[in-house]
Amino acid sequence: MLLEGKAAIVTGAGSGIGAASALRFATEGAGVVCADIRLARAQETVDAIVAAGGRAVAAEADVRSAADNEAMVNLAVQHFGGLYAAFFNAGTIRPGNAVRLSEDDWDVVMDTNVKSIFLGAKFAVPVMADGGGGSIINTASVSGLRGDRSGIAYGASKAAVINLTRCLAVDHARQGIRVNAICPGAIDTPPIKRMLASDTARDGAGRAHPLGRIGQPDEIAAAAVWLASDQSSFVTGEALVVDGGYSAASNPIEMGDPRPQGLRRPPSA
């Protein structure tokens, strides 16, 4: 029970990595605010947690909104007495290069993936500090470490998440707050399922990872729980890569294409 008696927030908790992480946090003893822009999906995750004997409450939240971020934190305090861990996981992607991508799509990606973490920290940090410290985990991506074809906004946003994580870690370490990011490779989430709908595409995605497969949401959840727990008590400002060895390869292939094609990059979580 790595998070016994702790209070946590997980954003994007209605599906994929967020749902798996909320369930894992609760299994490890945390009371979890399951936040999602789709309240019904957040409630499904809460129902699964409660059915398994855990504690959770649903929150409808647009993570681009300061008011919704403040409400999430207040809900954690109201229901669970404080806030120790926050997994700012919600994100979005809009494909396109600098010529084709619209300005509106750029803004949506940057606000959802980057501004949301700034706003989450704005309200989470004071409560964590009052409680003696805590842990913030942000979902970045291997796309924030290297360039993807037609992924200009997503890649830029995830690179920003990584350095925002470092800045938060430096700013708030003396308050007992650790801040880290996770950089997943391709994870078997609903968006990736849609992108890899054919057997050929899925097989190509697996071959792009040295371990021979794409990752599962539970595997990212395990990393998030470790970063939230005292087992990682001397880890802060880190961008933890969880990608099945993808970024270690010198000549990765594009997902969906079984043939090596130079330095093409796959979509990632």
Residue 259 resides in a domain:
no
What's the pLDDT score for residue 262? 35
Residue 201 resides in a domain:
no
Q: What is the mean pLDDT of residues 89-106?
A: 97
Residue 186 resides in a domain:
yes
Give the pairing of strands 7-11 and 85-88.
Answer: parallel
| C-alpha distances out from residue 53 to 31, 50, 128, Å | 11, 5, 26
- Predicted confidence (pLDDT) at residue 261 exceeds the cutoff of 50: no
- Active-site residue list: 154
Residue 159 resides in a domain:
yes
- Predicted confidence (pLDDT) at residue 75 exceeds the cutoff of 90: yes
Residue with the larger pLDDT of the pair 37 and 206:
37
Percent of the chain exceeding pLDDT 90 equals 80
Residue entry with tokens 């802060």: 236
Grade residue 66 by pLDDT with cuts at 50, 70 and 90.
very high
Residue 264 resides in a domain:
no
Q: What is the mean pLDDT of residues 85-90?
A: 98
Containing structural domain, residue 67: 7-190+215-248
What's the pLDDT score for residue 260? 38
- The order of strands in the sheet holding 55-60 is 55-60, 31-36, 7-11, 85-88, 134-139, 177-184, 239-242
Q: E strand or H helix at 59, and its extent?
A: strand 55-60
What's the pLDDT score for residue 193? 66
Residue 235 resides in a domain:
yes
Each residue of 127-166: pLDDT tens digit?
Answer: 999 999 999 999 999 999 998 888 999 999 999 999 999 9
What's the pLDDT score for residue 104? 98
Cβ(136)–Cβ(84) below 8 Å: no
Cβ(83)–Cβ(134) below 8 Å: yes
Query: Structural domain tally of the chain?
Result: 1
CATH number, position 160: 3.40.50.720
Cβ(7)–Cβ(210) below 8 Å: no
- The span from the CA of 34 to the CA of 49, in Å, is 10
Q: What are the b/e assignments for 22-49, b being 16+ CB within 10 Å?
A: bbbbbbbbbbbbbbbbeeebbbbbbebb
Q: Which two tokens stand for residue 82?
A: 């404080």
Each residue of 233-253: pLDDT tens digit?
Answer: 999 999 999 999 999 887 655
Q: Is the dihedral of CA 17, 19, 21, 24 positive or negative?
A: negative
Three-state DSSP class for residue 68: helix
Query: Mean pLDDT over all residues of the chain?
Result: 92
Q: What are the b/e assignments for 211-234, b being 16+ CB within 10 Å?
A: eebbbebebbbebbbbbbbeebee
Residue 233 resides in a domain:
yes
Of 12-21, 80-89, 189-198, the poorest mean pLDDT is in 189-198
Residue 145 resides in a domain:
yes
